Amino acid sequence: MKILAIETSCDDTSIALIEAKGNPLSKNNSGNWRIKILKNFVSSQIKVHEPFGGVVPTLAKREHIKNLPILWKRIVKQGKKADLLAVTVGPGLEPALWAGIEFAKNLAKELNKPLIGVNHLEGHLYSNWLVSGKKNPKFPAIILLVSGGHTILLKMDSLTKWKKLGETRDDAAGEAFDKVARLLNLPYPGGPQIEKIAKEGNSKSVAFPRPMLRDKNYEFSFSGLKTSVLYYLRDNPKTNKADMAASFQQAVLDVLIGKTIRAAKEFNAKSVLLCGGVAANKTLRNALKKESVKIGAEFFAPQFKFNTDNAAMIAAAAYVQKLRKKKYRLVAKGDLNL
Ligand code: KG4
Ligand code: ZN
């Protein structure tokens, strides 16, 4: 089945075409499907939002409306052969989501093809199945989804059966990176910037708190950590930026890794999976891999280009969704969850 997917939930406009084979819902699950990515175009709006220090929803919408036809033009010949169209309906910025939904609806009408709505978070979950030729994760699996809008820890018993163990009570991990980057006068988006300068710094130089690390639950909270950085900067304005970034990053990673590994141990996970934009952080990937292997779990993280928002992962989620006949309304839903 060829699937054409559209993603516009935040500040990346993306269109992808994939070819999906096999049945992910078969008894031995997970192992029995393959995704071939035929095209995956992502058009970033970083330059547009950078002067504002964050994503401006109305500008994001305007840019999506401008970019979608341009990306479609690059894919049109092969795209017309798609059997199914899919579009992200949430969570995300509603004006941005609507741009994708309206475009997809018109395209579906024009091509006379079925169209389904997809949950962006399911896209991130299935981004770990986008690497064809590699073996698929075994269940039970613990998945840490860390993006700009979400921080969720899940236990997956099969490709379609998962339980949320916990999530953030306030800021998401990526959001914390972005906000602390702003405090350090680094450009938007802050995550990659913090990671970059952290390499030059000493992660032990400032002892920031590890929020909720010792709590016997799988919830997270990052807004207090951000405030600690703010106060520390106010009281020690001469502190080296790189040391601040490294110490902050280490505090976030200690919490994320500590809780993920504890869950993996508690549920005897065969695999530990990482996904979402923050999964692009190499320090996090490497450290979580090391800790997973130590407890006998196999570690998975998507290829770099599939960590941050992209339509290929939306197409993969659409395939699973289509086979299990799960439906989302073709209406933007900013607060959709898993
Ligand atoms: O998944 P994503 O592209 O969009 C959402 O669904 O939110 O995630 C974007 C988030 C941003 O907060 C960005 O700063 C963060 O992922 N991010 C990173 C890195 N690359 C992107 N955070 C830490 N280290 C990185 N290398
Ligand atoms: Zn995302």
Torsion of CA 222, 225, 231, 235, to 10 degrees: -160
Query: Residue 238 CB: number of other CB atoms within 10 A?
Result: 5
Distance CA 224, CA 175 (A): 13
Q: Atom 3 of ligand 1 has which residue's CA nearest to it?
A: 308
pLDDT at residue 132 in the model: 61
pLDDT at residue 307 in the model: 95
Distance CA 193, CA 187 (A): 7
SS3 233: helix
Distance CA 275, CA 288 (A): 12
SS3 140: coil
Q: Which ligand is nearest to the CA of 305?
A: 1
Give the rounded percent of residues in the chain with a pLDDT score beyond 90.
89
Q: Which ligand is nearest to the CA of 277?
A: 1
pLDDT at residue 39 in the model: 96
Distance CA 223, CA 211 (A): 9
- Residue 276 Cα to ligand 1 midpoint, Å, equals 7
- Residue 73 Cα to ligand 2 midpoint, Å, equals 24
- Residue 204 Cα to ligand 2 midpoint, Å, equals 30
Residue 103: both structure tokens together: 């475009």
Classify the C-alpha dihedral 69-73-74-77 as positive or negative. Answer: positive
Ligand 1 atom nearest 281 alpha carbon: 26
Counting other chains too, the contacts that 225-234 makes at CB distance below 8 Å and 24 or more residues apart are 225/176, 225/251, 225/252, 226/171, 226/176, 226/179, 226/180, 226/183, 229/180, 229/183, 230/183, 232/206, 232/208, 233/183, 233/184
- Residue 151 Cα to ligand 2 midpoint, Å, equals 11
- Residue 8 Cα to ligand 2 midpoint, Å, equals 10
Entry field: residues in the chain: 338
Ligand 1 atom nearest 120 alpha carbon: 6
Q: Which ligand is nearest to the CA of 12?
A: 1
Best residue among 13, 278, 288 to mutate for probing ligand 1's pocket (most ligand atoms within 8 Å of CB) is 278
Measuring CA to CA, how many Å separate 176 from each of 190, 219, 310?
A: 9, 15, 22
Tell me the chain's radius of gyration from C-alpha atoms. 20
Q: Which ligand is nearest to the CA of 148?
A: 1
Nearest partner of 331 among 4, 63, 57, 100, judged by Cα = 100
- Residue 27 Cα to ligand 1 midpoint, Å, equals 34
Which residues of the chain are under the pLDDT cut of 50?
Answer: none
Ligand 1 atom nearest 308 alpha carbon: 3
Residue 188: both structure tokens together: 């938007």
Q: Atom 16 of ligand 1 has which residue's CA nearest to it?
A: 277
pLDDT at residue 291 in the model: 98
- Residue 172 Cα to ligand 1 midpoint, Å, equals 10
Nearest partner of 270 among 158, 163, 138, judged by Cα = 138
Q: Atom 8 of ligand 1 has which residue's CA nearest to it?
A: 277
Pocket of ligand 1 (CB under 6 A): 10, 147-149, 174-175, 177-178, 189-192, 195, 276-278, 280-281, 308-309
